[in-house]
Amino acid sequence: MKRILLTGNGAAAWGARLACADYVPAFPITPQTEIIETLADWIDNGEMPGRLVTLDSEHSMITAAGAAAATGVRVFSATSSQGLLYGMEMLYTVAGWRAPFVLVNVSRGLASPITLEPDHNDILAARDCGFLQIHCATCQEVLDSVLIAYRLSEASSVRLPVIVNLDGFYLSFTREPVQIPDLKAAAAFVGAFDAEDIRFRASAPTSQAMAVLGGSPYSYFRYETHLAALQALDAYETIASEFEEKFGRNHPAVETYRCDDAEMLFFMIGCFATKAKVAVDRLREAGWKIGLVRPRLIRPYPAEAIRTILRGKHGVAVIDQNLSMGFGGVLHSELASALYGQPDMPHILASFIGGLGGRDISTEEFFEIATTLKRAIVSGETPAPRLLYTEDELKQIEKLQLIAHVERTGGERE
C-alpha cells in the first residue's frame, strides 16, 4: 500500500486499474477526460492489461459497456453531465440487461445555460434507470467506492450496473492524499468476475431475450430489477464491512457525523458535505447540538437506516445541489416520502437549494441554514424552500443584464 496525492479523477482511474477492468469503452467530456487519459496511458505503456476503445458518443459507449459486460468481460467507463444524458436511453437498457459493470460520473450542471461546473442534476436525472448509485465526498472514497462497486455490481443477488459519482472540479481536480491498496490485495477483495450464465461464446450463440410482448412479462422483469436493487442494501453493508476489515476504511451506506446527541441535522450528499462538517464543528463549539447525515447510497435508497438515524431529532435541513423544475429539491422530496407516516420523525423538514452550477456554499450560509432551522423548530412552522443566493450575487447579475441590454440595443430604452 502506498499513499500519494491524487485528484478525484486519478483515484477513479486507480480504482479501475486495481479492479483489473478488462475493457474500457470511452468518450471524452469535461471534467471526466483525465480518467480516460490516465487509463489510456497505462494501457499504452503496458502498465495495465486491457483494451480502451474510444466510441463515437456516450450512447455508443454505454451500449458497448453493457454488451461487453453481458458477454462476461469486466468493464469500466466514465462520463459526465450532458454525456450521461446523451446515453440515458442505454442506461435504462443495459440495467434491464442486468449487465454488471461500473460507470463513474463526474457531476456537472446541465444546459441550458451551458456550464462546466458541478451540481447534481445530471446524476439525479438517472436515479430511476436501474443503475445503483454511490456518491463520494473525498478522493479516497472515490477509489474505494470503485472497488466496492465491482463487488456490489457482480454480487449474485444484485447483478446490476453501478454509478460511482463525484463532484466535477471540486473533487475531480482536487488533489488529496490517497491510500492506494496493494494490487494483489485489491484484486483479492474484488475477486475474479464470475459471469455465471451470461457469458457468450461465438461457437454457442444464445439469445439474451431482450424483447417482450404484453405488460405481464414486462412488469415481471421490471419488478425483478427493482427487487435486485433492494437486495443491494444488504449486499452493500456486507461488502463494506469486508472492505473495512481488509483495508481499515469504513464506508457505510449512510455516513453520520456528530449525530448521537444532535437535535438538528444537515442532510446532503457529495463533497460539499465536508464543508458541512466544518460548520458542524464550529456550531458545536458555540453550543449547538447539530450533526450531519450524508447518504452514500442513493439507489437503492437506504430509507430504514435514515429513519433510524433521524428518529427523535427535532429538525432536518436538506441541502440539495439540484433543482427539480416546478417542485424543488430531489433529496428533500425523497427524504419526505421516506419519513412520511413513520413514528417519532423530525417535525421540521426544511429545504435549501444551493451549489447549482458550481456555486459555493459558504460556512456563513451553513450557519444561516442552522439558524433558520432552529427558529423553525421553536415556532413549529416549516420555512418555505429557499435558494441560497446573496444580494451581491443578484446585483452582479443585474449589472450583466444591463450590459447585455446595452450591447443588444445600443443603449436605447425599450
Give the model's confidence band at 21: pLDDT under 50 very low, under 70 low, under 90 confident, else very high: very high
How high is the pLDDT of residue 413?
59
Domain CATH code at residue 47: 3.40.50.970
Same domain, 220 and 297: no
Same domain, 239 and 263: no
Average pLDDT over residues 258-276: 98
Q: Is the pLDDT of residue 181 over 80?
A: yes
Q: Coil, strand, or helix at residue 84? A: helix
Same domain, 235 and 265: no
Q: Is residue 411 part of a domain?
A: no
Same domain, 262 and 362: yes
d(CA 328, CA 353): 8
Q: Is the pLDDT of residue 323 over 90?
A: yes
Q: Is residue 404 part of a domain?
A: no
Same domain, 264 and 241: no
Same domain, 180 and 70: yes
Amino acid identity at 359:
R
- In percent, the amount of the chain with pLDDT more than 70 equals 98
Average pLDDT over residues 231-258: 98
Give the model's confidence band at 324: pLDDT under 50 very low, under 70 low, under 90 confident, else very high: very high
Cell for 221? 422483469
Q: Coil, strand, or helix at residue 116? A: coil
- How many structural domains compose the chain? 2
Helix/strand/coil percent split, the chain, to 5:
45, 15, 40
d(CA 22, CA 347): 50
Q: Hey, how many other C-beta atoms are within 10 angstroms of the C-beta on 3?
A: 10
Tens of pLDDT, residues 126-158: 999 999 999 999 999 999 999 999 999 999 999
Q: Is residue 413 part of a domain?
A: no
Q: Is residue 402 part of a domain?
A: no
d(CA 40, CA 48): 9
Same domain, 313 and 282: yes
Domain CATH code at residue 327: 3.40.50.920
Same domain, 198 and 288: no
Tens of pLDDT, residues 24-67: 999 999 999 999 999 999 999 999 999 999 999 999 999 999 99
d(CA 121, CA 125): 6
Q: Is residue 399 part of a domain?
A: no
Instruction: Tell me the pTM.
Output: 0.96
CA-based nearest residue to 253, from 303, 210, 217 = 303
Same domain, 346 and 234: no
Same domain, 58 and 167: yes
Q: Is residue 406 part of a domain?
A: no
Average pLDDT over residues 208-231: 91
Taking each helix axis from N to C end, the angle separating 215-247 and 183-190, rounded to the nearest 10 degrees, works out to: 140
Tens of pLDDT, residues 80-94: 999 999 999 999 999
d(CA 259, CA 293): 8
Average pLDDT over residues 18-26: 98
The domain boundary, picked from 247, 276, 310, lies at 247
Give the model's confidence band at 200: pLDDT under 50 very low, under 70 low, under 90 confident, else very high: confident
Same domain, 163 and 232: yes
Q: Is residue 386 part of a domain?
A: yes
How high is the pLDDT of residue 410?
82
Q: Is residue 8 part of a domain?
A: yes
Average pLDDT over the chain reads: 96
Domain that holds residue 334: 256-393
Average pLDDT over residues 180-196: 94
For every residue of 327-372, DSSP letters joined together read TB-HHHHHHHHHHTT-TT--SEEEEEE--GGG----HHHHHHHHHH
Q: Is the pLDDT of residue 290 over 70?
A: yes
Tens of pLDDT, residues 354-388: 999 999 999 999 999 999 999 999 999 999 999 99
